[in-house]
Structure 1
Amino acid sequence: MPREGAAADSMSFHQDKLPSRPEIFDFHGVSMTHYFTDNWENIQNFQARPDDILIATYPKAGTTWVSYILDLLYFGQTERQEVVPIYDRVPFLEIIISSYSGKDLVDNLPTSPRLIKTHFPVQFVPKSFWEQNCRIIYVARNAKDNAVSYFHFDRMNNIQPEPGDWTDYVHRFMGGKVAFGSWYDHVNGWWKKKQTHSKLHYMFYEDLVEDTGREIDKLCCFLGLSRSDEEKKRVTDGVHFDNMKKDNMANYSTNSIMDFKISPFMRKGKVGDWKNHFSEAQSEQFDEDYEKKMTDVTLQFRSEI
């Protein structure tokens, strides 16, 4: 087993050896890039364990936030939190860049349960997660804020496709021509799965912003964890956005594929920031498109709180 932190070393690339910006292509009906499909067969054959916990989200919907919450709930404040970045404590299952493999990181995790993250749409999830009846937490974020956050992320992340300008990006986001495909298909696909998989907890980014403590209570209930009020308060304080933004083991500042001169990985963490980006015409066009695509009235989002 590699020493803890060894994998983190391989996530450091010299400026002249940075991975190249990928092209989007259609992969089984979903827009993807090769960094998330090159290891496809190994990922599909991944052997989940019954106590594995999968954190699933569309990109930029609160993945790191919920990963950090679970890491603290299960393992508390330990030395590991101070030396191992969150992306090695909660590995990104499908990523593969050169020799850096999310699956290998998961296979070598020293913790139990293993906390694993994915951005896969529900139909791409390795079947062993369902066969082992694993607990899965899905986090969804309103479409407009998600689009804005993803745009800024694509600007600063060298393994994401070039985002172009905001006007182009909004249209591509609406059409699902971004990595991991359509936001609409993603949130709806996972919502539908919730009806048949009893161990799927579907939560909303906006609820987390509104009352983090309440959502942590719900998570504890879902996971069967009994934590004292004091412990839960410590977790709630620890995962406050401002605290995480300053924490080098949580804010991705140790990850060399991201250019913080363009934008921080953790930017604002707010609900309603879309109003600073969408023009009135863009907002109206987006709303019309949204009405056509969001036909399940049981799935409701809030774009302000």
Structure 2
Amino acid sequence: MSRMDVMEVFNGILFPGHLHTQDSLEIALKFPFQDTDILIASYPKSGTTWMQEMVTLISNRGDPHLSQTVPNWARAPWLEQHYFAAVLEASSITPRVITTHLPHHLLGLTLQSSKAKVIYVSRNPKDVLVSFYHFHKMANFLPEPGTFPEFLNRFLEGTLSYGSWFDHVKEWTSQTATMSNLLHITYEEMSLDPHGTIKRVSSFLQCPLMDDEVNNCVKHCSFSSMKDNKMVNYTQIAEEIMDHSKGSFMRKGKIGDWKNMFTEEQNQYFRSVFKSKMQNCILEFVWDEQDKEETDNEQIPLKNKEP
């Protein structure tokens, strides 16, 4: 299945046709989740691969064998992609780990009938934007990104593949008040406190770990470890699909890399759009505790507002 230049429009959202069909998207909305399933949900470039690796290692109590021998798209396949059913049927991995970039308004109904555990991963949108921009340069199944200012505008307008970051985050995180089976984890806390994050996730998955098992998880899901792991870094993907001469899938993994791309004017514009679109969000976005006023030295994760 090539369809490199095809884009599917589904419920008003663009999806790359190389990975998605109208049928695969329709099937995803009716998928019968099992109570033992683990669903990782995120907007692209928010730490999805990292969480896939973390969940694999936690489920295997820090043993890296599975994560080093089975590609992550086979360990935690994407629900909405065309190959999903075949991969899931061929897999004997338990519990089943499933990944999705679908917004909550499309997937929420089918999730209601299940007790599947959902981990939602979010990231500073400016870092998401920069990472997604570089990914467009190497992923031949995505449109050319154009200039960075053009890409920034499309991101803010919500017209990129997978839709609006703002809507995606607001929809999923708004469920934290009513869904006891949903855990919200940020990229920033994964980066700044990997031990604590792994303990939170393992507790949520009811898979408590010993200290040495936590340490093994931290070691094998570090950025450097994932960057060198062919089961994670997508170097096994054919060049006509991902051109690694134009960039690396595991690029930097840094917090605050947006500062290397944004001009001050672009930053101010982004801030104004962000403030407008996220004014009704239940989350308080705090990026630097030492300077809460007008700085953007992003160093700590999104925090839930106090009730």
> TM class by shorter-chain length?
0.7 to 0.9
Alignment equivalent of 1:95, drawn from 81, 88, 107:
81
CA displacement, residues 64-120 of structure 1 (integer Å, 9 cap, x when unaligned): 101001101112436443332111111111112xxxx12321233211110010000
Q: Is the 8 A contact 2:38 2:119 kept in 1?
A: yes
Distance, in Å, in 1 between the alignment partners of 2:193 and 2:66 is: 28
Q: Please state if 1:291 is matched with 2:275.
A: yes
Distance, in Å, in 1 between the alignment partners of 2:6 and 2:262 is: 26
Distance, in Å, in 2 between the alignment partners of 1:78 and 1:66 is: 14
The 5 Å alignment of 1:261-280 reads 261-280=245-264
Give the deviation of 1:124 after TM superposition: 1.7
The residue that corresponds to 2:72 in the other structure is: 86
1:137 match: secondary structure? strand
Structure 1 pair 24–273 and aligned structure 2 pair: CA distance change class (3 A): farther
TM-score if structure 1 supplies the norm length? 0.88
Distance, in Å, in 2 between the alignment partners of 1:194 and 1:286 is: 26
Runs (5+) with no aligned partner, structure 2: 288-295, 300-307
1:252 match: secondary structure? coil
Distance, in Å, in 1 between the alignment partners of 2:243 and 2:173 is: 34
Q: Is the 8 A contact 1:46 1:126 kept in 2?
A: no
The residue that corresponds to 1:77 in the other structure is: 63
2:126 match: secondary structure? helix
Number of positions where the alignment pairs a residue of Structure 1 with one of Structure 2 = 284
The residue that corresponds to 2:38 in the other structure is: 53
Q: Is the 8 A contact 2:199 2:208 kept in 1?
A: no
Q: Is the 8 A contact 2:27 2:80 kept in 1?
A: no
CA displacement, residues 152-196 of structure 1 (integer Å, 9 cap, x when unaligned): 111111222221121110000000011110000000000112222
The amino acid that maps onto 1:95 is Q
Distance, in Å, in 1 between the alignment partners of 2:282 and 2:67 is: 38
The residue that corresponds to 1:207 in the other structure is: 189
Higher relative contact order (CA 8 A, sep 6+): 1
The amino acid that maps onto 1:81 is S
Distance, in Å, in 2 between the alignment partners of 1:86 and 1:144 is: 26
Question: Identity over the aligned pairs, expressed in percent?
Answer: 35
Alignment equivalent of 2:176, drawn from 185, 194, 197:
194
Q: Please state if 1:238 is matched with 2:224.
A: no
The amino acid that maps onto 2:133 is F
The amino acid that maps onto 1:277 is M
Q: Please state if 1:21 is matched with 2:5.
A: yes
Q: Is the 8 A contact 2:8 2:20 kept in 1?
A: no
2:119 match: secondary structure? strand
Q: Is the 8 A contact 1:22 1:161 kept in 2?
A: no
The residue that corresponds to 1:64 in the other structure is: 49
2:94 match: secondary structure? coil
Structure 1 pair 31–90 and aligned structure 2 pair: CA distance change class (3 A): same
Q: Is the 8 A contact 1:24 1:179 kept in 2?
A: no
TM-score if structure 2 supplies the norm length? 0.87
